[in-house]
Amino acid sequence: MKIALIGHGKMGRTIERIAIERGHEIVSVIDVDNQNDFDSDAFRSADIAIEFTTPATAVDNYRRSLEQGVSLVSGTTGWTARMDEVKDMVASRPGTALMWSSNFSLGVNIFFELSKRLAKMMAPFPQYRPYLTETHHIHKLDHPSGTAVTLAEGIVESSPRVNSWTEDVPADDDALIVSHERRAEVPGIHTITWESGVDSIAITHSAKSREGFALGAVIAAEWAAGRSGMLTMDMLMADLVK
């Protein structure tokens, strides 16, 4: 498969290595200093692009890639207030696709499902209140992390007594409190705790490196190539575990 990379930082370079190890060809690498390469035969030859950049540049990257007829897998977070605009962008270009996820790690996506199941189990027990904490490296610009937002939205969706999430403390009694920490080079730690006066129940996902995120992104690209429309990790996971 021919892959274009949009963004060539630490994550982009890790994706590049893993893609080559899996037998794929990197036909174009676009970073801040060669934006004109979107309009190139090399970029257009890609079966799919993998995009990891910044919240400020992601949507424009999607537009420029789709204009060239190249579908994308993207792991950039912090832009989703513009989701309706992006959905319209994909719909206006039949045959193209955008697969976005706050986290492509297969382990994290299993963790998403565990969190939702736990939230449903805790519904009859009002003495427990949920808390979500996330820790990442000091270079991460947005907070809470996209993964934390996905976890929080899953808890709100799954629990009839958690009606919202917030980073503000004090918070409404029915709100999930989300906190963040930026420390050293931590790849990512997410912990969900259901706390009562007598005990607590906690589940944690702790990434050991960027490898899991990068491998998941390449697997997602392999799956998404040739598909069309807005694609999700839920779709991919359903195929993997069926």
Residues with active-site annotation? 136, 140
Cα–Cα distance for residue pair 136/146, rounded to 1 Å: 11
111 sits in which H/E element:
helix 106-122
Q: What are phi and psi of 133, to 5 degrees?
A: -125, 140
Cα–Cα distance for residue pair 226/38, rounded to 1 Å: 20
> What distances in angstroms separate CA 144 from CA 12, 43, 81, 120, 177, one per listed residue?
22, 33, 14, 23, 11
Cα–Cα distance for residue pair 138/153, rounded to 1 Å: 24
Q: Which two tokens stand for residue 133?
A: 């904490």
Q: How many Å from the N-terminal Cα to the C-terminal Cα in the chain?
A: 25
CB 152 within 8 A of CB 131: no
Cα–Cα distance for residue pair 241/235, rounded to 1 Å: 10
Residues present in the chain in total: 242
CB 230 within 8 A of CB 174: no
Q: Which two tokens stand for residue 50?
A: 């993998």
